[in-house]
Amino acid sequence: MNNLLDQLYDIEGIDPINWWPLAPGWWVLILFLALSLLGLVIYYYRKCTFKNSWQYRILNQLSHLEQNSKKGETQPTLIELSELIRRIAIHQYSRIECAGLEGKSWLRWLKNHDPYQFDWETKGKYLIEAPYAPSYKGIPNEDVLGLIKAIRKWVK
């Protein structure tokens, strides 16, 4: 009897399914999740760095000036725009190139260096006249908003 029992072999179960290597569907899912995570990190990094940039501060200031212009404060808005466009030009180009320009030569320089070809010589005349003009409200609000829009394009 012992002899017969010794001849029996144990029943071995089926080998367990190995989780590695992964099926192609899992690789696609992992790749998708990794790229999504990388995209989110890059998006928030760019958003954070843009909020710390000079362009973000200028665009916020332009929005504030636009609100002031809509309230009817066109002359103070133009005075600030005049200073702002000068600071932008000095930042993007050199101080030597544009800081000493004034009057029509300043407007000509703006027209020549504007990538969107805004007509600074005719529509930007308020930038050189407003700081020295007496207080009045004869400046059209549409012209001020047009200048703000042109400066906003130039900053972007």
Distance of CA 23 to CAs 31, 32, 37, Å?
13, 15, 22
Q: 3-class DSSP state for residue 102?
A: coil
In this prediction, residue 4 has a pLDDT band, given cuts at 50, 70 and 90, of confident
d(CA 58, CA 40): 26
pLDDT digits (tens, 9 = 90+) for 46-96: 988 888 888 889 999 999 999 988 888 888 899 999 999 999 999 888 888
Which H, E and C letters describe 125-146, residue by residue?
Answer: HHHHHHHHCCCCCCCCHHHHHH
Read off the amino acid at residue 68: N
pTM, whole model, 2 decimals? 0.67
pLDDT digits (tens, 9 = 90+) for 95-123: 888 888 989 999 999 999 888 888 898 88
Asked if residue 38 has pLDDT above 90, the reply is yes
Is-cis flag, bond preceding 16, omega within 30? no
Out of 112-116, 132-136, 140-144, least confident range:
132-136
pLDDT averaged over every residue in the chain = 88
In this prediction, residue 18 has a pLDDT band, given cuts at 50, 70 and 90, of confident
Asked if residue 135 has pLDDT above 90, the reply is no
- Domain boundary assignment for the chain: 75-155
Asked if residue 39 has pLDDT above 90, the reply is yes
d(CA 135, CA 13): 96
